[in-house]
Amino acid sequence: MTAEMTMTDNLLSSLGLDRPETGDDAVVPFTLDKLDTRGRIVRLGTALDTILSRHDYPLPVARLLGEAVVLSALIGSSLKFEGRFILQTQTDGPVNLIVVDFDAPDSMRGYARFDHDALLKAAEAGKTSPADLLGKGHLAMTIDQGAHTERYQGIVALDGSSLEDVAHAYFMQSEQIPTQVRLAVAQMSTRGDHRPRWRAGGMLIQHLPPNGLSMMADLPGDGNFNNPNSADPDFVEADGWAEAKALLGTVGDLELTDPDLSPERLMFRLYHETGVRVFPPQDLVERCTCSADRIEDMLANSFSEQERQDMAVNGEIEVVCEFCSAAYRFNPHHFH
């Protein structure tokens, strides 16, 4: 162990870190008290690799979906109740649909739909950035608290912006909370492994509102962007927030995805001069909520007997989950 690492260990301990450092597939909340800022940092390994490798997406599509999964984990993990956060894009770009579900407190799944020909043309033209792949359309963020409760939804336009830019605009318009987001996705190879593995990291910081709330809002807003007061024309950026943003802007993609750099060490590297408090992590898992019972109920209650007969091929109805690719087969006569 080097002297530098020992010094860092001692400093982390002096800052109150009395637990092991956080590894992959977890979210770590933190506050920057002197900068009036709160935030969360996410690190994804096996969970993200499972989501992206299951469908064998082309690299640009996998990278974009990975960013959407990280963003969903950053926002969805802030829910203080049992419920589902849904991020969905519908656009005219080569990747015309992305859906990510985050079921509080810890599980997520996601998939992307893309046009092969449009993606090939974009790649030939060198236009494979997230903004190029998405094109124009909208992004919806929805909170679903269950069958007997009202859904909350916010919608923001996608007009050639990245997911990071859209997140900034969303929180400013919907929550009126200055927010900065960094997302990074990478493939990394390990000696002896038969293929590269997907990894990702992300950080979200928010300027604390004047009332001094120290926790992220339970809901991401009602999407009322027609309110003329949603943006304050006289807003002056606080010095602390400007510093927090500037330091976050120095973070590289490799730092966000480096398996040897824990979230706590990254926080210390960025904010040790101003002080940072980290809180216990929440583990995250890839978990699909599909099941034979749910699909059977859907077939029984949403389709007529004739429609079920028309679905059958070789005497079976096959339903494949778009998220996890699990295949379910049913006898159409079973529903009589």
DSSP secondary structure code for residue 210 in this structure: T
Tokens of 106: 């810890």
Same domain, yes or no, for 72 and 136?
yes
Instruction: Please compute the mean of the pLDDT values over residues 64-92 and round it to a whole number.
Output: 92
Mean pLDDT calculated for residue range 270-281: 91
Task: Find the domain containing 311 and state its range.
Answer: 292-335
Instruction: Quote the CA–CA distance of 31 and 278 in Å, as a whole number.
Output: 7
Residues 159 and 307 in one domain: no
Domain boundary, last residue among 246, 270, 286:
286
Q: Residues 314, 233: one domain?
A: no
pLDDT of residue 139: 93
Among residues 137, 132, 108, the alpha carbon closest in space to that of 122 is found at 132
Which residues neighbour 57 within 8 Å (Cβ) at sequence distance 6 or greater?
A: 65, 112, 114
Give the count of domains, the chain. 2
- Give 208's pLDDT tier (boundaries 50, 70, 90): confident
Residues 112, 181 within the same domain: yes
Distance CA 128, CA 138 (A): 19
pLDDT of residue 6: 46
Inside any domain, residue 85 = yes
Q: Where would I find the beta strands (DSSP E) of the chain?
A: 26-32, 37-44, 84-91, 95-103, 107-114, 136-144, 152-159, 179-188, 197-207, 277-278, 282-283, 285-286, 317-320, 327-330
Place 227 in a pLDDT band, splitting at 50, 70 and 90.
Answer: very low
Q: Give the pLDDT band of residue 225 (cuts 50, 70, 90).
A: very low
CATH of the domain at 59: 3.55.30.10
Does residue 178 sit in the same domain as residue 269? yes
Question: Is the same domain home to 119 and 261?
Answer: yes
Tell me the pLDDT tens digit for each residue of 81-95: 778 999 999 999 999
For 8, 55, 123, 161, the CA distances from 136, given in Å and listed in that order, are: 45, 25, 18, 9
* Dist. CA 86–CA 102, nearest whole Å: 6
Q: Which residue has the higher pLDDT, 284 or 23?
A: 284
- Do residues 235 and 319 share a domain? no
pLDDT at 18 exceeding the cut of 80: no
Is residue 326 in some structural domain? yes
Cβ-based neighbour number of residue 61 at 10 Å: 21
Answer yes or no: do 264 and 163 share one domain. yes
* pLDDT score for 226: 36
**Bridge pairing between strands 95-103 and 317-320:** unpaired
Pick the closest to residue 89 from 146, 167, 42, 141 (CA basis).
141
Q: Are strands 282-283 and 107-114 parallel, antiparallel or unpaired?
A: unpaired
Same-domain check for residues 271 and 313: no
Are residues 315 and 206 both part of a single domain? no
d(CA 181, CA 164): 6
Mean pLDDT of the chain: 85
2 lies in a domain? no
Q: Extract the tokens encoding 141.
A: 């963020």
DSSP code of residue 175: I
- Cα separation of 167 and 155, whole Å? 11
- Based on the domain organization, do 26 and 153 belong to the same domain? yes
Could you tell me if residue 105 is inside a domain? yes
Residue 96 within a domain: yes
Note the Cα 323 to chain centre separation in Å: 15
Residues 117 and 249 placed together within one structural domain of the fold: yes
Predicted local distance difference test score (pLDDT) of residue 11: 58
Exposure b/e, 225-264, CB count within 10 A at least 16 = b = beeeeeeeeeeeeeebbebbbebbeebeeebbbbeebbbb
Residue 3 inside a domain? The answer is: no
DSSP string computed for 60-107: HHHHHHHHHHHHHHHHHTT-SSS-EEEEEEEESSSEEEEEEEEETTTE
Q: Measure the CA–CA gap between 193 and 113, rounded to whole angstroms.
A: 28
Residue 115 pLDDT > 70: yes
Length of the chain: 336
Would you say residue 10 lies in a domain?
no
Q: Give the pLDDT mean for 189-207.
A: 89
Among 271, 286, 301, which residue terminates a domain? 286
Residue 263: what pLDDT?
94
User: Does the residue 7 lie in any domain?
Assistant: no
In one-letter notation, the amino acid at residue 234 is D
